[in-house]
Amino acid sequence: MAIMTYLEAIADGIRTEMRRDPSVFMLGEDIGIYGGAFKLTKGFIDEFGATRIVDSPISEAAIVGAAIGAALNGMRPIAEMQFMDFVTCGFNQIVNVAGTTAYRWQMGVPMVVRGPSGGGVGANPFHSRNSEAWFAHASGVKVVCPAFPADAKGLMIASIRDNNPVVFYEHKGLYRKIKEEVPEGDYSIPLGKARVVREGSDCSIIAYGSAVHFALEAAENLAVEHGYKVEVVDIRTLVPFDEETVLASARKTGRVVIAHEASLTAGFGGEIAARIADKAFEYLDAPLKRVAAYDAPTPFAPTLEKAVLPNAAKVRQAVEELLRY
Amino acid sequence: MAIMTYLEAIADGIRTEMRRDPSVFMLGEDIGIYGGAFKLTKGFIDEFGATRIVDSPISEAAIVGAAIGAALNGMRPIAEMQFMDFVTCGFNQIVNVAGTTAYRWQMGVPMVVRGPSGGGVGANPFHSRNSEAWFAHASGVKVVCPAFPADAKGLMIASIRDNNPVVFYEHKGLYRKIKEEVPEGDYSIPLGKARVVREGSDCSIIAYGSAVHFALEAAENLAVEHGYKVEVVDIRTLVPFDEETVLASARKTGRVVIAHEASLTAGFGGEIAARIADKAFEYLDAPLKRVAAYDAPTPFAPTLEKAVLPNAAKVRQAVEELLRY
Amino acid sequence: MAKKTPEKQTVSANDEATIPALTRSDLLTDDQRRIILTMMIRAREYDYAMQRLNRQGRAFGGVYSQIGNEATAVGSAYAMGDKDVLFPMHRNIGGHYVFGQDTRTLLLNQLAREGSRMRGTDGTGHYADPDKRIYGNISHLGSMIPVAAGYAMAARMRGEHIVTMTYIGDGGIQTGESHEGINFAAVQKLPMILIIENNQYAYSSPSHIEYACEKLSDRALGYGCYGITVDGTDIELVYETCKKAVEQARNGQGPALIECVTMRMRGHAEHDDFFYVPKETLEYWQKKDPVIRYENQIIEWGIMTREDIDALRQNIIEELRNAIDEVVELPFPAAEEGYRSVFVD
Amino acid sequence: MAKKTPEKQTVSANDEATIPALTRSDLLTDDQRRIILTMMIRAREYDYAMQRLNRQGRAFGGVYSQIGNEATAVGSAYAMGDKDVLFPMHRNIGGHYVFGQDTRTLLLNQLAREGSRMRGTDGTGHYADPDKRIYGNISHLGSMIPVAAGYAMAARMRGEHIVTMTYIGDGGIQTGESHEGINFAAVQKLPMILIIENNQYAYSSPSHIEYACEKLSDRALGYGCYGITVDGTDIELVYETCKKAVEQARNGQGPALIECVTMRMRGHAEHDDFFYVPKETLEYWQKKDPVIRYENQIIEWGIMTREDIDALRQNIIEELRNAIDEVVELPFPAAEEGYRSVFVD
Ligand SMILES: Cc1ncc(C[n+]2csc(CCOP(=O)(O)OP(=O)(O)O)c2C)c(N)n1
Ligand SMILES: Cc1ncc(C[n+]2csc(CCOP(=O)(O)OP(=O)(O)O)c2C)c(N)n1
Ligand SMILES: [Mg+2]
Ligand SMILES: [Mg+2]
């Protein structure tokens, strides 16, 4: 085990798999000599060469489309969006070409589209979006949103090995903020398995990505200050969705807060709430609450951004509301 | 009042507003002499001329982008997607340019992006998609999904007059299938108001678009066969969302089925469920059920399409389940 | 700027002089010519059969005619080597045949019957048949260009010298994905051929609605790749032009844009009566019918007799009729297929 | 195909001979030259000031330098008429100044302080100021090209003879939206000028990663519009070229693609130390510094003296310092602004 940041763990996952499997290669803007906007691929071109670390023009549709073509021809491409926001320019390729191929052709498109998403770092509305719900609604596309370094590595390796298109959301705010022990070498975590990251019996928080961290912070504060036992479930992948683990937690605690950084309306939190309200209804002792960003673009100024994005205080307030219910 | 099909009513709405307001114009593929793939704009070019009925190249991003530019310069463009499926190619313009302009610039983008969506007519995965949830999650974009001719006309006129970008989903299966009396001339229905299209006290079905029709069919069958009083609420617009009317119905009946033709996961039904599970929890006597398409592309063969898409029988089954609960 | 390719202008119906003689390519043997003609007639008759099925209400979904496009589809595909890969579009039945596809498979897909490669999930030419090196399109125009580029890139990474070929229309090339795909291929010098099927119309839109340049192959200059415009009804010219581009691409000289100028002789799909196409335009192009003219030429060159060709056509029609009779009786795929394979394992 | 614009090649640092003399345009008066120089110095000094703020940790978000681009930004914008409309990109501070924007407004936006036109919702040059006929960009490259086209189309619908001008880089022009936007403008013959700021790099990517053509203006042929490549460090040449294109566009002759070849003299943004740019390339372009050379030329032409220019610069620096001192003390906009105006009424 080595201590790695979230960013290092992702890089380590890709590097590990590229060493093992010659069919894996990367495609994206400025990923070669420059090492990527966040330096995630720093040194990759020296180790793997320009044939496997392909600098591309500013053409997200071509990046994704070429990755699909390569995947159909036996490769396992990893397509980088310099910022996940730019996936809107490769959107059609993902949802219509990649997402329908298994269904129509019974052929795999083993491709990972990955990149930094999320806010909280004073970027702007075009460098902060959390758009995972779009792909969760696309059909035929897997969606992964890791919150921890070790998970990020394990899920990255599993995503590369998956024979289906995977959109892999890295949270740029976590890149260098969190560190933990990460298994070295080959390490993969199956897609579609949630993880209970904190056990509790009073209330559940279902979260993913950056929200797991402020959920944990809220849970810890509530434990320290009031002795509440709040469970935190990190769903880790949106598609496939680990309904079982989520329902088990809801049934256990009877009180559920759902948290994500993405904006509220039509976010993935609605999906989680709907499944719980359908399949764990009889266990619920209180309404389902969601904590999410205000329905607006992610603003630039720190004052506004802080107001608009969710945080531990907002989660805590929701949990307290449920516990008082 | 005149009897109009859904298609005629939409055309009438656009025509009425174009006659009234010279700043309204249309932009799209084959909308001129040809009159559009569904003949919705038949005769428009004769009445309004080629300056206001602009045939465009096959360039959805340019169509939407040019509409945005024209909207910023005092016009009220209506951009047609020949099939709503192709909006994936103009996606970035809608979510990132149009959707952020009010927030960033405090300027309106009075633009309507409209076109035929939906399945059930033996098209194929690329001519059948229901993608309204994507835009509902975008922030800054209004989303309209009318189910009836009169509503379609009234909502179209309101959408054109709205100072914000509106994505207007027409259901191609309804175009010629339903007729009703439609007010002539100027007739607008405010965005953000749901309509109780059938009153009832045993159970509510919350629906929009084509689902309203199979919800009504299910409600009628249940009334005739069992005397159940099922309420059907047509939300009509997803953004803005008329939470009040939906919650009122849920509180009244205590049993709610949510229905849409779009695929289940991360569809707008989750949003509706989440709001009810939060704000009408104490009134619920049964779990929340959703009826939606199976999470797959909409298939081509009639056998498969019928299996994948929701229908009255599936809604009915869900209602019965709740009534037995 | 306003001037278009000469072929685009409406020409007086009597003006036979404007119709150049067909090319005789030195690269083809007479045996190959017979094969090419067979493919063209197959494509043509397939089209007629689909039209009939459509009129009888026995076909559904879009029925896109390729009449007028046989020389472009067959000539380009025939220029490919036997490891090369085809990404056909909606008017390339001729290419499917050249790549060895059989009528039954095509019909099963198009009519979405049990046994279709796509299990009824999709129709028309959207299927893939990796054994035959055919990857069909999706409806969104231009989307397959980056995919064909990526396929070629993957092959090159493995040291394979294959070429991919794909197609786009005078309308579809205006999409952003077309641009990104061609530019990507040019930057990477990928062995990808893009055939621009300039058939004068994009649905109802004549070329001046779609673009303002003189020739669409003029775009090659701006991408830094090889580009040329040829008469898309002249089968051996199409073949020779593509053959050259394919070998260039195979040798690492990068992609090519080949504009084949032809005419869509029917509506966009069978529901469209193409009232917007001037009668004289159709009459002019009728005289350039790629199949009939090649038949006559082949007879003139003494390669086949009229009787040979009639017999060939009868055979093809027979084959088609048998395949149709069999396929239309088949049921649609089982409903359960709709729930399968949204993901692969 | 592999050959690039001459300016693109790394030139020996000593090779003064390759640097052509600056153009003297007959269209400009000496008063106008003084104004132009003022705008260029303003842009340059704004840039220096932002660099300082960034080093001091007082700026945040991307700080994009436009050093090297002053002639392109100022020369193009200055060619516009007083009803024309600017859609600037991220290296066009010079254009903002030409269109009458004041430093304080720019700073309020860039530093997201209370009073910013965007209320802190967004930063850099993304603001719009309709009174000044400035509509900033969004980050997604190429997205504003169709918007600028549509703006021009709307004006034409109302019979107004305005021209819109927008910008794109050697990288950004590879996006699909750029293609669709230019083609749309060409088909519609819209009065829209697209300045291609070819500054040799797109972030870390040199041109050969982005495109394979010789000149980006070669794309004009494929769109059927006017296109030209000029030295983007030669202010009066840029001005004259744009002036001609603007008047052509105003007269209904359609859009233009004007490639201005220049060099990005700093990193992509201030966080980037541009290690990937060869030192000799920078040295070569240093000699073509658009501001310094124009200063010298203006002195040589006897229009201003060194002292005049020094005084002018001092004034500008003073103004900037005052504006900065004031603006940095302002608070960020109130948090509540984050909840307002997602929609307008
Ligand atoms: C992105 C996109 N927009 C619109 C359509 C609808 N559409 C299908 S075919 C067609 C016309 C295509 O014209 P062209 O590219 O010239 O090909 P042709 O049919 O003439 O062979 C249109 C507009 C589409 N399939 N994809
Ligand atoms: C669609 C899109 N993809 C990627 C980016 C990230 N990005 C921002 S600027 C830039 C480089 C732009 O290069 P160029 O167009 O040459 O303009 P320059 O910065 O050199 O002026 C990149 C890749 C973006 N903004 N938009
Ligand atoms: Mg065509
Ligand atoms: Mg550049």
Tens-place pLDDT, residues D248-266: 999 999 999 999 999 999 9
Instruction: Examine the domain organization and report whether B200 and B150 are in the same domain.
Output: no
How much is the pLDDT for D16?
61
pLDDT of amino acid D14: 52
Chains touching chain B at 3 or more Cβ pairs under 8 angstroms? A, C, D
Q: Does C149 touch chain D (CB under 8 A)?
A: no
* Alpha carbon B252 to chain centroid, angstroms: 26
Give a yes or no: residue A107 inside a domain: yes
Q: Is the dihedral of CA C231, C235, C236, C238 positive or negative?
A: positive
**Could you give the C-alpha distances from D205 to B9, C23, C176, C178, D197, in angstroms and in order?**
53, 45, 21, 22, 15
CB-based contact D213 C219, cutoff 8 Å: no
Q: In terms of domains, do A200 and A119 share one?
A: no
A40 with A158, same domain? yes
Of A152, A182, A212, the domain-final residue: A182
Q: Half-sphere exposure of A119 toward its Cβ, with a 13 Å CA cutoff? A: 33
Q: How confident is the model at residue C62 (pLDDT cuts 50, 70, 90)?
A: confident
Q: Assess whether B169 and B237 both reside in one domain.
A: no
Residue A85 lies in a domain: yes
Say yes or no: A174 and A206 in one domain.
no
Q: How far apart are CA A195 and CA A147, in angstroms?
A: 11
Ligand 2 pocket residues where CB is under 6 Å: A 29, 58, 60, 82, 86, 89; D 91, 139-141, 169-172, 175, 197, 199, 201-203, 264, 268
Same domain, B25 and B111: yes
| Whole-number pLDDT of residue C8 | 42
For residues A247 and A220, the answer to whether their CB atoms sit within 8 Å is no
Kindly report the backbone phi and psi dihedral angles of residue A37, in degrees, each rounded to the nearest multiple of 5, phi listed first. Answer: -60, -30
H or E element at residue A27? strand A24-28
Residue C118, domain member (yes or no): yes
CB D1 within 8 A of CB C224: yes
CA A317 – CA B103 distance, rounded (Å): 27
Burial of B304: CB neighbours in 10 Å, binned 0-12, 13-18, 19+ = buried
| Residue in the structure block whose two tokens are 């398409």 | B293
Partner residue facing C338 (CB), from B29, B62, B299:
B299
Q: Tell whether ligand 1 has an atom less than 6 A from the beta carbon of residue B107.
A: no
Q: How many CB pairs under 8 A join A and B?
A: 154
| Whole-number Å distance between alpha carbons of C138 and B88 | 13
B124 neighbors C121 (Cβ within 8 angstroms): no
Q: In this model, does residue C17 exceed pLDDT 70?
A: no
CATH number where D161 lies: 3.40.50.970
pLDDT at residue C19, as a whole number: 86
Q: Kindly tell me if the per-residue pLDDT of D284 is higher than 60.
A: yes
Give domain status of residue C287, yes or no.
Answer: yes
Q: Are residues B23 and B167 in the same domain?
A: yes
Are A235 and A246 in contact by the 8 Å Cβ rule? The answer is yes
B228 with B313, same domain: the answer is yes
Pocket test residue of D203, D207, D209, D277 for ligand 2, highest count of atoms within 8 A of CB: D203
The answer to whether residue B188 sits within a structural domain is no
Contact C59, C324 (CB under 8 A): no
Angle at C313 between CA C311 and CA C317, to 5 degrees: 115
In a domain, A83, yes or no: yes
Complex ipTM over 0.95: yes
Asked if the model's pLDDT at residue D5 lies above 60, the reply is no
A5 and A175 Cβ atoms separated by less than 8 Å: yes
The pLDDT of residue C18 is 73
**Low-confidence residues of chain B, pLDDT below 50?**
none
pLDDT at D8 exceeding the cut of 90: no
Closest CA to B152 of B187, B117, B120: B187
Instruction: Give chain A positions within 8 Å (CB) of B268.
Output: 266, 270
Is B189 within the bounds of a domain?
A: no
Distance between CA A288 and CA A272 in Å, rounded?
10
- Looking from the CA of residue C172, the nearest atom of ligand 1 is 15
Instruction: Using the 3D structure, point to which of B182, B203, B227 is the last residue of a domain.
Output: B182
Look at residue D18 in the predicted model and tell me its pLDDT: 73
Q: What pLDDT is attached to residue C10?
A: 43
Looking at the DSSP bridge assignments, the partners of residue A203 are: A230
Q: What pLDDT was estimated at residue C124?
A: 86
Print the domain residue range for B253: 195-324
Tell me which of A55, A80, A82 to substitute to probe ligand 2's pocket, judged by most ligand atoms within 8 Å of the beta carbon.
Answer: A82
Is D334 part of any domain? Answer: no
**Which residues in chain A have their CB less than 8 angstroms from residue B276's CB?**
277
The tokens for A260 are: 């994500």
Task: Tell me the average pLDDT across D230-240.
Answer: 98
Residues 6+ apart with CB under 8 A from D184: B56, B57, B59, B62, B63, B65, B66, D146, D149, D190
Tell whether ligand 1 has an atom less than 6 A from the beta carbon of residue C264: yes
Mark whether B246 and B318 lie in a shared domain. yes
CATH number at residue B178: 3.40.50.970
The mean per-residue pLDDT over the stretch A225-243 comes to 98
Residue D59 lies in a domain: yes
% chain A with pLDDT above 90: 100
Atom 21 (ligand 2) nearest CA: D169
Query: In this structure, is residue C125 part of a structural domain?
Result: yes
Residue D9 pLDDT more than 90? Answer: no
Q: Count the neighbouring beta carbons within 10 Å of the beta carbon of residue D286.
A: 13
Say if residue A79's pLDDT is above 80: yes
pLDDT tens column, A114-126: 999 999 999 999 9
pLDDT at D60: 81
* A187 inside domain: no
Q: Indicate if the pLDDT at residue C16 is higher than 80.
A: no
Residue of B nearest to C209 (CA): B57
Q: Based on the domain organization, do A163 and A209 belong to the same domain?
A: no
D220–chain C Cβ distance below 8 A for any pair:
yes
| Alpha helices for D16-135 (secondary structure H) | 30-55, 70-78, 93-98, 103-110
Mean local confidence (pLDDT), C57-62:
85
Q: CA dist D216 to B206, C73, D91, Å? A: 54, 32, 19
- Which ligand number lies closest to the CA of residue C199? 3
- Cis ω before C278 (30° cut-off from 0): no
What mean pLDDT comes out for the span A158-171? 98
Contact (CB, 8 A) for A291 and A310: yes
Tell whether C100 is covered by a domain.
Answer: yes
For residue A212, the domain's CATH number is 3.40.50.920
In a domain, D7, yes or no: no
Query: CB of D199 within 8 A of CB of D264?
Result: yes
Per the prediction, chain A carries an average pLDDT of 98
Residues D123-136, mean pLDDT to the nearest whole number: 96
Name the minimum distance, in Å, from the CA of B298 to any CA of chain D.
27
Cα–Cα distances in angstroms (integers) from residue D187 to residues B33, B56, B67, C208, in the given order: 17, 9, 16, 7
Q: Is A213 a catalytic residue?
A: no
- Do the domain assignments include residue A150? yes
Q: How many domains does chain B have?
A: 2
Measured torsion, CA atoms of residues C92, C96, C98, C103, in degrees rounded to the nearest 10: -120
**pLDDT score of C63 more than 50:** yes
Task: Name the amino acid, one letter, at C262.
Answer: T
- Angle at which helices B149-161 and B6-20 cross, to 10°: 30
Mutate to test the pocket of ligand 2, among D76, D126, D141 (most ligand atoms within 8 A of CB): D141
SS3 assignment for chain C: CCCCCHHHCCCCCCCHHHCCCCCCCCCCCHHHHHHHHHHHHHHHHHHHHHHHHHHCCCCCCCCCCCCCCHHHHHHHHHCCCCCCEEECCCCCHHHHHHCCCCHHHHHHHHCCCCCCCCCCCCCCCCCEEHHHCEECCCCCCCCHHHHHHHHHHHHHHCCCCCCEEEEEECCHHHCHHHHHHHHHHHHCCCCEEEEEEECCEECCEEHHHHCCCCCHHHHHHHHCCEEEEEECCCHHHHHHHHHHHHHHHHCCCCCEEEEEECCCCCCCCCCCCCCCCCHHHHHHHHCCCHHHHHHHHHHHCCCCCHHHHHHHHHHHHHHHHHHHHHHHHCCCCCHHHHHCCCCCC
Before B240, cis peptide (omega within 30)?
yes
pLDDT digits (tens, 9 = 90+) for D151-198: 999 999 999 999 999 999 999 999 999 999 999 999 999 999 999 999
Contacts of C178 in chain D (CB under 8 A): 179
Asked if the structure places residue A254 within a domain, the reply is yes
User: Does B207 lie in the same domain as B161?
Assistant: no
Task: Tell which of B154, B182, B210 closes a domain.
Answer: B182
Can you give the residue range of the structural domain that contains D195? 39-328
**Residues A172 and A232 occupy one common structural domain:** no
Decide: C259 in ligand 1 pocket, CB within 6 A.
no
Q: Is the pLDDT of residue C3 over 80?
A: no
Which tokens is C338 given?
Answer: 């709709």
Closest CA to B278 of B253, B252, B246: B246
Residue D81, domain member (yes or no): yes
Task: Give the number of domains in chain C.
Answer: 1
